Structure 1
Amino acid sequence: MNDTTQATPPRLTRRRAPLSLKQRILRRVMMIVPMAALVFLVGRMGWLDQAADKLTFSRTSWFDNTAVVEHFRTIVTHNGMTSDAKDCLLFVINGNDPPDATRLEVLEKHSGKCPGDRNTLPHLFTIQIDRLNQTAQTDWQSPGMFHPLPR
C-alpha cells in the first residue's frame, strides 16, 4: 500500500470561530453583573464585617479600646442584640474601671441617618469586659444581671 497522504494528528480541542467585539463585551458583562450582585449581597449580609473582625481581632486587641469597640459593634449588630445599624450605636467605655471589669455602655444614637428623637440617647444594655481573661458578659434583656453574650 502506497499512501501518499499524511495522517493529521487528532485535535484535543474544537476549533472555534473568532469572537466578535459584541460577543466579547456580552461575555464580560455576563460575568461582571452576577459577581457584582454577589459582592453587594455579601456586603449587605455583613459577612465581610464578620470575616474582617475574625482576621483582625487578636489577643492583644483586648487592651485596645478602639479594637474592642469595633469588635463588639460587629458582634452586637450580627447576633440579634439590636436591630440598629452599626453607625447608630454609641459605645461608652468607663476609663476608671479595673481591667478585669471594664464596662461598655451601649447607647442608641439619633443623629444623621439614625431615626428617633435627636435629644435622647437611650441606653440599650451594658457589656462587662474582662480583658485579662478575654471574656465578655452582658445585661441585655435582664438589666443588672450579667450573662454571656448570645452567639
Structure 2
Amino acid sequence: MSKDTPPSPPRLSRRRAPVTLKQRIVRRVLMLIPMAALVILVGRMGWLDQAADKLTFSRTSWFDNTALVEHFRTIVTHNGMTADAKDCLLFVVNGNDPADATRIQVMEKHSGKCPGDRNTLPLLFTLRIDRLDQKALTDWQSPGMFHPLP
C-alpha cells in the first residue's frame, strides 16, 4: 500500500442494487396475500371472538345482562352446544329471578339470514346462572336436569 491512499473501511455487508418499483409492489403483494388469508382463517375459526371475550368479560360482567349474554353467546357457539350461528340465537333473560338462580333461555331465531320456519322460535336449552358464585349450569341434552357447561 502506498502512503497516498487511505485504507478503506471494511464493509460488513454486500452492497445491493436499488430496489425498483415493480419489486416493491411484488414484495408487498406477496406479503399481503398470506396475511389476508390468515386474518380470514382466524375470523372463521372464531379465535377473534374468543380473544375479545377473554379481554372484555370480567368479574363485574356477571351482573350486566348484556355482557353476560354476549359471553355465553360466544361460549355456546364455540363449544359445540349448537351448530347455529351467533346471530341466529336469541337469549331471553328472566329478570324476576334472584341473583343466585338467574335463568336464560337460549332459543333458535328464524329471521333474516337464519333458516327455518319464521313462525317458530324453538327453545334449545336453558342456562341457570349463579351471579354471586359466578357459575353457570345448563340443561343442554337433558331437559330439566342442570349440569355444568361442557
Task: State the TM-score, normalized to the length of structure 1.
Answer: 0.96
1:12 maps to a residue whose letter is L
Quote the offset at 1:13 in angstroms: 1.9
Please, which runs of 5 or more residues in structure 2 have no aligned partner?
A: none
Partner of 1:126: 126
Q: Superposition RMSD on alpha carbons, in Å?
A: 1.1
Structure 1: tracts of 5 or more residues without a match: none
Shift of 1:2: 5.0
Q: CA deviation at 1:7?
A: 2.5
So what's the TM-score if we normalise by structure 2?
Answer: 0.96
Partner of 1:28: 28
SS in 1 for 2:127: strand
Which residue does the alignment assign to 2:96?
A: 96
Q: Distance in 1 between matches of 2:90 and 2:3?
A: 88
- 3-state DSSP class of the match of 2:69? helix
The 2-side partners of 1:33 and 1:74 are apart by: 29
| Number of residue equivalences | 150
Measure, in 1, the Cα distance between the counterparts of 2:129 and 2:14: 64
Counting aligned pairs with the same residue, the percent is: 82
- Render the CA deviation track for 1:24-45: whole Å, top value 9, x for unaligned: 1111111111111111110110
| C-alpha separation in 2, matches of 1:59 and 1:69 | 14
CA deviation profile, 1:29-84 (whole Å, cap 9, x unmatched): 11111111111110110000000000000010000000000000000000000010
**Which one-letter code corresponds to 1:69 in the other structure?**
V
Specify the code of the residue in structure 1 equivalent to 2:126. Answer: T
Matched, 1:10 2:39: no
> Using the alignment, how far apart are the partners of 1:48 and 1:10 within structure 2?
49
